[in-house]
Chain A
Amino acid sequence: MSTEVAIVGVGLHPFGRHAPDLTGMTMGAQASRLALADAGVNWADIGYAVGGSNVSGKPDTLVGVLGLTGVPFVNVRNGCATAGVALATAANAIRAGETDLALVVGFDKHARGAFAASPADYGHAAWYGETGLMVTTQFFAMKDRRYLHTHGLKDRLLAQVAAKAFRCGELNPSAWRRTALSEDEIMGARVINAPLTQYMLCSPSEGAAAVVLARGDRAADLCERPVRLAAVAKRTRRFGSFEVFAPWLPPEAGHSPSVDAARAVFAASGLSPADVQVAQLQDTDAGAEIYHMAETGLCEDGAQQELIDLNETAPTGRLPVNTDGGCLANGEPVGASGLRQVIDIVLQLQGRAGARQVARQPRVGFTHVYGAPGISACTVLTA
């Protein structure tokens, strides 16, 4: 039987816009210290560390601030899936017997506005960027339009998802956007990439998140209610999936890496999507939350309309999704975003999510990140 891994401490530096001189690294150190304190351990107790940042420096530099203990420290840079990959790396180090206590930290401090990407970084020639095709929000809008069209869903569903995100943000004291907006306000806002308006897209932001992982047999000593990392998996894209930064697609459809990563964690955990009582899905835009519900197996394609009309994805519903407001209400510091998701699920499973606490105490949670150029990481977490 493989070694159990549990989350025994969490720490979040709130996402949003912060003082210009507050660095991503400093936020990462603060989140790390909060997670260590939550677990009741010291940095010197940590036998393995993994850190992720997309643009704000080399995470292993944090040892200069946290303490030069000689700890092995792996840096991860996998786009929006960074934190999921970091978590998997640390969990595997515990399973491999390298340590019984690990820290995972992610941070980023992004400039305002949409991400700018370099064609060369993604294997494209210069024309792809120069001619205005290499823009992430274009992909989100085009995948949404194709998905809504194929499954007979209405554009208004995008506004319903965004409105739910901001209602959750209102309930979450650490959220960036804490003002509820009506569907009409969201629909009527500035159009960025039709059919997406500004409130249907998450903004790059600043923040940090950290968790402490322990080998299962130590978890109960460190934490009153440890959360079991039942499974974690990461996958890259397959032939035929519609991905960001793709100059071409084959006519034959393939499934996304989210499908593979989700199937892998359900298979490994022995649980099924029907067992999930609270979920975090990559909502880089409102449409992403809609199709990720289906790609991860939480519902059938096209079933989202009824679920969302009935408010089933709100914290009071049958399948609460992104109860902390998700990327839409928190923005996305890329390196930290997936750990924010994990922290929200941990708080829900421990019954300490405050005003957004899911009513019937959940015991099974799920997280999902997706990023360029077609990567995904998922977890199943259990109380």
Chain B
Amino acid sequence: MTATAVDPALFSSLDPPRLAGSACASCGTVTFPAQAGCAKCTGTDLARVELADRGTLWTWTVQAIEPKAPYHPPDDGFTPYGVGYVDLGDVIVESRLLGDPAGFEIGMAMRLTLLPLWPGPDGSPVVSYAFEPSGGST
């Protein structure tokens, strides 16, 4: 069964999962998702790039109560979930987190994975991205 991205602009590939961003031709600033203008140098020549799939946890929390709309809970209902920022080297990306929050620590090694959200019209899962502890060091 093939997964469908919640927004195709987020990914350069789903298998293996890789995020897509943009890099500024003038100053090298990397953004996520891709954008049309550079937040640093105001340049408008940005090329699409694939982001690293491994990084370190920069900060995190747990969403313990169900957010209001436009949050879309899974079909089997809301359960608390981890949220964090993961430092990929040239950009720090906000992400859902998988794994036990009791083990989360700033600086721990993380890797990219897919996050199933809800079934699409054809029954195949709609997915976003998440990071999970990779157990090793980066």
- A interface residues, Cβ below 8 angstroms from B: 113-114, 116, 118-119, 125-127, 129-135, 138, 141-143, 145-146, 149, 190-196, 239, 246-251
- Complex Cα distance, B61 from A195, in Å, reads 7
Residues of A within 8 A of B96 (CB): 131-133
B 110-136 binary contact with A (CB < 8 Å = 1; else 0): 000001010000000000100000000
B87 to A194, Cβ gap below 8 A? no
Partner of A127, one of B10, B29, B81: B10
| B1 part of interface (Cβ distance < 8 Å) | no
Number of chain B residues whose Cβ lies closer than 8 Å to a Cβ of chain A: 44
A129 to B9, Cβ gap below 8 A? no
- Complex Cα distance, B38 from A250, in Å, reads 12
Instruction: Decide yes or no: A251 and B68 within 8 Å by CB, A125-B9, A142-B85, A193-B62 being known contacts.
Output: no
List the B residue with the shortest CB-CB distance to A130.
B72
> Restricting to B62-115, which residues have a CB under 8 Å from any CB of A?
62-65, 67-72, 81, 83-85, 87, 89-96, 101, 106, 115
Residues of A within 8 A of B90 (CB): 251
B128 to A127, Cβ gap below 8 A? yes
Additional 18 contacts, C-beta under 8 A, given A119-B70, A248-B31, A251-B89? A113-B68, A129-B71, A130-B71, A131-B71, A131-B72, A131-B96, A131-B128, A133-B83, A133-B96, A138-B61, A146-B106, A149-B59, A191-B62, A192-B64, A248-B92, A248-B94, A250-B40, A251-B91
Instruction: Decide yes or no: A247 and B93 within 8 Å by CB, A114-B67, A126-B70, A133-B83 being known contacts.
Output: yes
B92 to A251, Cβ gap below 8 A? yes
A141 to B9, Cβ gap below 8 A? no
B32 to A248, Cβ gap below 8 A? yes
- Complex Cα distance, B63 from A134, in Å, reads 11
B83 to A194, Cβ gap below 8 A? no
Closest approach, in angstroms, between the C-beta of A168 and any C-beta of chain B? 27
Residues of B within 8 A of A251 (CB): 87, 89-92
Residues of A within 8 A of B115 (CB): 131
Instruction: Decide yes or no: A193 and B61 within 8 Å by CB, A251-B91, A251-B92 being known contacts.
Output: yes
> Restricting to B25-70, which residues have a CB under 8 Å from any CB of A?
29-33, 39-40, 58-65, 67-70
Instruction: Decide yes or no: A249 and B61 within 8 Å by CB, A131-B117, A145-B106, A149-B106 being known contacts.
Output: no
- Complex Cα distance, B40 from A239, in Å, reads 6
Partner of A142, one of B6, B31, B60: B60
- Complex Cα distance, B60 from A119, in Å, reads 21
- Complex Cα distance, B95 from A136, in Å, reads 15
- Complex Cα distance, B62 from A138, in Å, reads 8
11 residue pairs bridging A and B, Cβ less than 8 Å apart:
A125-B9, A130-B72, A132-B96, A142-B84, A145-B106, A146-B106, A149-B59, A193-B63, A247-B93, A249-B92, A251-B89
Closest approach, in angstroms, between the C-beta of A104 and any C-beta of chain B? 31
List the A residue with the shortest CB-CB distance to B92.
A249
A247 to B94, Cβ gap below 8 A? yes
A194 to B67, Cβ gap below 8 A? no
Partner of B70, one of A118, A246, A250: A118
A141 to B61, Cβ gap below 8 A? yes
- Complex Cα distance, B85 from A250, in Å, reads 11
Residues of A within 8 A of B15 (CB): none
A248 to B71, Cβ gap below 8 A? no
B6 to A130, Cβ gap below 8 A? yes
- Complex Cα distance, B6 from A127, in Å, reads 6
- Complex Cα distance, B40 from A246, in Å, reads 15
Instruction: Decide yes or no: A132 and B69 within 8 Å by CB, A247-B33, A249-B92 being known contacts.
Output: no
B63 to A135, Cβ gap below 8 A? yes
- Complex Cα distance, B63 from A372, in Å, reads 19
- Complex Cα distance, B61 from A116, in Å, reads 18
